[in-house]
Amino acid sequence: MTQFLLQRSMLPVRGMVEPLLYVREVGSVTRGDATATLAAGAELSFDTSFGVFHAGRWRRLTTVDAIVARVVATGSGRADVVSVQRGREHVVACASLGAQPVDIAVGSLRDSRFGVLYVRIVATGPCDVQRVEWRTSTPSSHDVRLSLSITTFNRQAYVIPTVKRVLSLVRSLSELQGRVRVLVVDNANNVNFEESPSDDLSVVPNRNLGGAGGFARGLMWLREQGWATHVLFMDDDISLETEALVRTVALFAYARDPQMCVHGAMLSEERQWMQFEAGSKYLWRSLYPLRALGQEDDLRDRSLVLRDAKEKRFAYSAWWYTAFPIGITKDNPLPVFVRGDDVAFGLMHTGRHTVTLNGIAVWHADFHLKNNPSSLFYEMRNFATIDTLVFDRHRWWHLGQRFLALSFRNLFGFRYASAEYMIRGMRAYLAGPQALAEVDHTALHDELRQVTEEKPAPLSPDHASVVMSTPLPKPVRLIGFVLSLPFVGGYLIPKSLRSRELRTAPIDSRAVGLALRHEQILYRHDRLPEGFVCSRDGARFRALWRDVFGVLFELARTYGRLKREYRAAYPALVSDEAWQRRFDGVSAVPKR
């Protein structure tokens, strides 16, 4: 009987700091690079985030039916297949181990109510375990040829090892051979993988047009080549769990929805057990519209792992790992360089079709260390553009309220550079779609990133020695926040009553209440010795407030016209022709 591979439950590689993402051990277990050796009486189980087979999700999302667990282990002992339903666990199948891997028929997904399945191995004598493979005899529903599209800019330390691991997996696993390829769009024109020419790796040089430009280039290139049925957009600064590719290809092969898209969860590089995001909602009326799902989940938590959680609706998925059918749209990404290109693409095309699955994940550095005032330029301009394009009921006061509230927080927290770049971002939006089409993104980004203020950097010894301030109770912080308005951020408090003591605040906060009665704030990371100092500046404060209200007046006056113009210009902005002109280094739209 022909079997098709759905998922592999693997052992953690040597040096993995969070092995509980992969396996749980009882008794004497010695792990090597690819094999765990169990002594008599020891147990090894895959009731983990990366180890379980989420039967309920496979049943709901795919046409998979008959399930087989292949236990790649030898020695003395037995392997149990354990079903978990509503917190109750029971063994549904078992087999004795011997000199060869053993296949355990689990049964039909269609005729069962399995929620989560996992394999537990109990040694009665010496036993070597390599992995568990979840397989099916159900023929696949779709032919899948998946091409990764990785955009890189001077991230060799990340992207070269990632590509090497992917190619090693693809070339060694028959189920992926001829079905997975890698495309790297090199925005810096300097990456070298030291690989002989082959069908499974292509490198395309490109101008530095940010993530949007790189992914647009990759998408256009893949359409022209005509090989790929599905595309995986992936960042260059992540660490990939390569087994995610096995599960992604299988999901596409058996998908009930032919437009299914797959999102990989982002885990913290600093705390590898912590989930940062597994998809996101987008609340366009809110001050902070991005609402991550599954944020700060501890993926070592067994009760969380064994829950048959129903699928959640997405608004969009981020491009650190987003896979989709290449034919889902003819549109290319919006030309917005960074921040929001994936949001727009998700809201318009992929979000409502997107699913997640345990074990499809990447690790990424803390975003708080990447944020700086230039990020706020892109967030302000790009999210304003997205809201205008996507939401029919969006009005100028929705955008104006967000802009005013964020300006208040930045200005009253001494983050003047952030406010300046937000104002600049709003002015770029107000310049209209013609300006967006004609902007030299490379030159603009080079200019924006010259900002030296409010950028996380290693703290000086004096600042590193400052004791982290104990957070005040939330009601006290709220009182300080409320009083900031009548006291104009503390400027109406006599200078003699304001403290010169340096206080600390989280690096991603706007310490409005704390700034009310202080002259300086040290914004710092809670785990790393990085941050920056912001100081009170009355002249700058007043000048920026004038700019904020000037921009609000302009927004109220022109929003109706801008909405019509952006929507009319959208097809041209995302067209192949416009992007090709950008790749060629000429204006996307001829200047008048």
Answer whether residue 85 shows pLDDT above 70.
yes
Query: Domain span at residue 109?
Result: 4-136
Residue 568, domain member (yes or no): no
Domain end: 312, 332, 365, which one?
A: 365
Residue 141, domain member (yes or no): no
Domain end: 314, 339, 365, which one?
A: 365
- The identity of residue 307, as a single letter, is R
Q: In what order do the strands lie in the sheet with 180-186?
A: 201-205, 180-186, 146-152, 230-234, 322-325, 261-263, 354-355
454-470: burial string, b at 16+ Cβ within 10 Å, e else: bbbeebeeebeebeebe
Is there a contact between 451 and 419 (Cβ–Cβ < 8 Å)? no
Question: Which pLDDT value is given to residue 501?
Answer: 85
Question: Which pLDDT value is given to residue 1?
Answer: 63
Q: What is the mean pLDDT of residues 29-35?
A: 90
329 shares its domain with 460:
no
Residue 565, domain member (yes or no): no
443 shares its domain with 313:
no
Residue 581, domain member (yes or no): no
263 shares its domain with 354:
yes
Q: Which residues pair with 124 in a beta bridge?
A: none
Query: Mean pLDDT across the chain, nearest whole number?
Result: 92
379 shares its domain with 487:
yes
Tens of pLDDT, residues 57-78: 999 999 999 999 999 999 999 9
Q: What is the mean pLDDT of residues 577-591?
A: 73
Question: Which pLDDT value is given to residue 369?
Answer: 62
Question: Which pLDDT value is given to residue 589?
Answer: 41
400 shares its domain with 531:
yes
CA-wise closest residue to 166 among 266, 247, 242: 242
Tens of pLDDT, residues 324-359: 999 999 999 999 988 888 999 999 999 999 999 999
Question: Which pLDDT value is given to residue 119?
Answer: 98
Place of tokens 């009319």: 568
Domain end: 95, 117, 136, which one?
A: 136
Answer whether residue 168 shows pLDDT above 80.
yes
265 shares its domain with 356:
yes
Answer whether residue 18 shows pLDDT above 50.
yes
Question: Which pLDDT value is given to residue 462?
Answer: 86
169 shares its domain with 81:
no
525 shares its domain with 394:
yes
226 shares its domain with 360:
yes
Question: Which pLDDT value is given to residue 586?
Answer: 64
Answer whether residue 368 shows pLDDT above 70.
no
Residue 25, domain member (yes or no): yes
181 shares its domain with 43:
no
Please state which of the ranges 40-54, 290-304, 436-450 shows the lowest mean pLDDT. 436-450
Answer whether residue 477 shows pLDDT above 60.
yes
CATH of residue 42: 2.60.120.200
Q: How many domains does the chain have?
A: 3
Tens of pLDDT, residues 236-255: 999 999 999 999 999 999 99
359 shares its domain with 384:
no
CA-wise closest residue to 175 among 247, 75, 224: 247
How many alpha carbons fall within 13 Å on the CB side of residue 525?
A: 18
110-133: burial string, b at 16+ Cβ within 10 Å, e else: eebebbbbbbbbbbeeebbbbbbb
Tens of pLDDT, residues 531-573: 999 999 999 999 999 999 999 999 999 999 999 999 999 999 9
**Whole-prediction pTM:** 0.91
Question: Which pLDDT value is given to residue 45?
Answer: 97
CA-wise closest residue to 139 among 221, 250, 55: 250
Q: What is the mean pLDDT of residues 206-229?
A: 94
Residue 248, domain member (yes or no): yes
CA-wise closest residue to 519 among 504, 543, 536: 536
Tens of pLDDT, residues 402-450: 999 999 999 999 999 999 999 999 999 999 999 999 998 888 988 998 8
φ, ψ dihedrals at 366, nearest 5°: -55, 125
Answer whether residue 588 shows pLDDT above 60.
no
Q: What is the mean pLDDT of residues 11-24?
A: 92
Residue 130, domain member (yes or no): yes
Question: Which pLDDT value is given to residue 592?
Answer: 27
Is there a contact between 219 and 183 (Cβ–Cβ < 8 Å)? no
290 shares its domain with 334:
yes
CATH of residue 259: 3.90.550.60
Answer whether residue 164 shows pLDDT above 90.
yes
Residue 228, domain member (yes or no): yes
